Amino acid sequence: MPSFAYFNKQFVPLEEAKLGIMTNALHYGTAIFEGIRGNWNPQKKQIYIFRLKEHFERLHNGCRIIKTELAYSIEELCQITVKLVAMCRFEEDVYIRPLAYKSSQSLGVRLHDLENDFLALVIPWGPYLDVETAKCGISSWRRPDYNVIPPSAKLTGLYINNALAKTEAIEKGFDEAIMLTPDGHISEGSGENLFLVTDGKLVTPASDNHILLGITRDTVIKLAKDEMGIETVERPVELDELFAADECFLTGTAAHLTPVGEIDHRPIADGKVGEITKRLQELYFEVIRGNNPKYLDWCTPVY
């Protein structure tokens, strides 16, 4: 089935969306991206795009950081995305990649005096971490400090840090990396936020622990409180707490909610999916596929 992209202010077949080799963003990482899930509901024959508006709000905020002026409002970006996914006619889970970027065919390290543009593409994409429980390793690569690169936006240039950590983890036999802050606290995975379950409460690194404030992270915090009466404590997390946790899981748009079974070859409790993790995972998948009427305002139907 053919796929399409939004490129140069029009919808085109994906294979026709090409960038010039002198595009500034290609050389210097001067772009902001988002990852957005469209979740297929086979009973309803519908793709629901999850928390679409919130993703584009974060994209807009990130553009301010790198002095990128978007020619589209949040509402216009949402409309473009729905039309793009509808054109592709997929009947499976999809992944949507919007990108706001410095489009000038111009070399030179800077953010000023460059043109800006926007593109989006959509591809079929199943589970990112296709395991029942993930094996994680503590990475030797740490998150950059705030005065190096701000972690609050999905800057393409920043993600070399994540790529180094991910590949190191895979080459050591793990499924995912867990990175530390510059001062040695737990931060996040290479593409996910991290939660512990300790004494019946959720614990997750706070916003000042060099994390991306994930939309799935926010979703889980809300579901835990509203549906299970479980509060989330946001604070610095020490390495030894991670090893001693009752349960552990990762959250992210690509990874959804993935249980963690072991870290650095140490099992988390019995190494199996914990009760709270399992219930949250079930709730989350009900919500993102449009099967929970209470949260349908988070789900944008495509067809």
| Cα 58 from Cα 174, distance rounded (Å) | 30
What's phi and psi for 102, nearest 5 deg?
-80, 110
9, 18, 102, 154: the catalytic one is: 154
Q: Is 154 a known active-site residue?
A: yes
DSSP 166: H
| Cα 81 from Cα 47, distance rounded (Å) | 12
DSSP 199: T
Range 57-84 burial, b when 16+ CB lie within 10 A, else e: ebbbebbeebebebebebeebbebbbeb
Q: What is the dihedral of CA 83, 87, 89, 92, to 10 degrees?
A: -50
Q: Measured between alpha carbons, how far is residue 23 from residues 28, 45, 247 in Å?
A: 9, 39, 45
**Amino acid at residue number 296:** L
Which positions are annotated as active-site residues? 154
